[in-house]
Amino acid sequence: MFNSKIIGLGYYLPENVVTNNDLSKILDTNDEWIQERTGIKERRWIDPKTDDTTSTMAVKASKIAIERSGLKKEEIDFIIFATLSPDMYFPGGGVRVQDMLGIPTIGALDVRNQCSGFVYSLSVADQFIKTGMYKNILVIGSENHSGGLEKSTRGRGVTVIFGDGAGAAVLSRCEEKSKGVLSSHLHSEGKHARELMLDGPHTGRWVPEIIAENDPEDQSYYPYMNGQFVFKNAVSRFSEVIIEGLEANNLHKDDIDMLIPHQANLRISQFIQRKFQLPDNKVYNNIMSYGNTTAASIIIALTEAWEQGKIKENDLVVLAAFGAGFTWGSVIIRW
């Protein structure tokens, strides 16, 4: 059995900044409401005039991660791509990245676990590396939310929260047993699937049926969230899964050097920070600038924290996520 370690990190954000005041011009909201409830000041939304898509952003982030890893792209053995907003209904984004990066015909796997997507993907990559099946895996989270949001007052409870962006990590075989991914812990509770979802066109209600109904009130192809219910579940599941990860490694909350929570809501992150009595320099948040970028949020935040020198050799880094499904999970890393 081998350990796995992150050896390259990168992210890409669309240039187009959308402030809360910009949103207040297209729907009934205001900067004070958004900042008070979520902490978000602005987010990035793809300018449709650019070539940015979920996959092209993923490629831009991946190129940076691969370059920083010191590997040649030909040395990547496998791609894992987490997104809820693929360019196409099928195939998924992994194969698009394989093609656009010009990597040989390696395997590509898509992960559909929304805000927990990156944590799930990292865990899957870790298992492949542990068994020796692969040596270097490109793990990506990328989202184009702006293309699918309801940009009117009816959708304001969801629309103001989400942003676009991509992040990527190269996970590699590591010979040192005490370094890299120490453990991952994954959970789901599908009975709450309808509390946060995009019902959309699906095989039980396909496009011709929707066209035939021609119902202007139909919101099924926009994301729906029961915000307060999700919030309550998020704070308890985040805490549980962080404790589970620490206990599995005989670690204590005081051992945490850096907690990177999925950027769902600054209030959720602050709740977790208080619960674990962590000082400000041990929790990294960037939701203020980027909103919730779902599968991309943890990897963008991890990359930024690392770039800013906030993560050093031997630090204990805890990643934790909660989102639609419900799904949640944590990954404990010795950097």
Active site residue 115: yes
Closest distance between ligand ACO and the C-beta of residue 288, in Å?
14
Is 98 near ligand ACO (CB under 6 A)?
Answer: no
Closest distance between ligand ACO and the C-beta of residue 17, in Å?
18
Active site residue 286: no
Closest distance between ligand ACO and the C-beta of residue 229, in Å?
8
With respect to ligand ACO, which residue has the nearer C-beta, 53 or 297?
Answer: 297
Residue count, binding to ligand ACO (CB under 6 A): 24
Of the candidate residues 18, 82, 95, 234, the single one contacting ligand ACO (CB under 6 A): 234
Of the candidate residues 108, 115, 181, 287, the single one contacting ligand ACO (CB under 6 A): 115
Can you give the chain as a three-state secondary structure string?
Answer: CCEEEEEEEEEECCCCEEEHHHHHCCCCCCHHHHHHHHCCCEEECCCCCCCCCHHHHHHHHHHHHHHHHCCCHHHCCEEEEECCCCCCCCCCHHHHHHHHHCCCCCEEEEECCHHHHHHHHHHHHHHHHHCCCCCEEEEEEEECCHHHCCCCHHHHHHHCCECCEEEEEEEEEECCCCCEEEEEEEEECHHHHHHEECCCCECCECHHHHHHHCCCCCCCCCCEECHHHHHHHHHHHHHHHHHHHHHHCCCCHHHCCEEEECCCCHHHHHHHHHHCCCCHHHECCCHHHHCECHHHHHHHHHHHHHHCCCCCCCCEEEEEEEECCCEEEEEEEEC
Closest distance between ligand ACO and the C-beta of residue 322, in Å?
6
Is 228 near ligand ACO (CB under 6 A)?
Answer: yes
With respect to ligand ACO, which residue has the nearer C-beta, 118 or 134?
Answer: 118
Of the candidate residues 2, 17, 31, 37, the single one contacting ligand ACO (CB under 6 A): 37
Q: Which one of the spans 8-16, 133-141, 261-269, 310-318 is the region binding ligand ACO (CB under 6 A)?
A: 261-269
Closest distance between ligand ACO and the C-beta of residue 128, in Å?
25
Is 33 near ligand ACO (CB under 6 A)?
Answer: yes
Active site residue 292: yes
Active-site option among 3, 144, 185, 262: 262
Residue ranges binding ligand ACO (CB under 6 A): 29, 33-34, 37-38, 114-115, 156-157, 160-161, 196, 227-228, 230-231, 234, 264-265, 268, 292, 294, 323-324
The residues assigned a catalytic role are 115, 262, 292
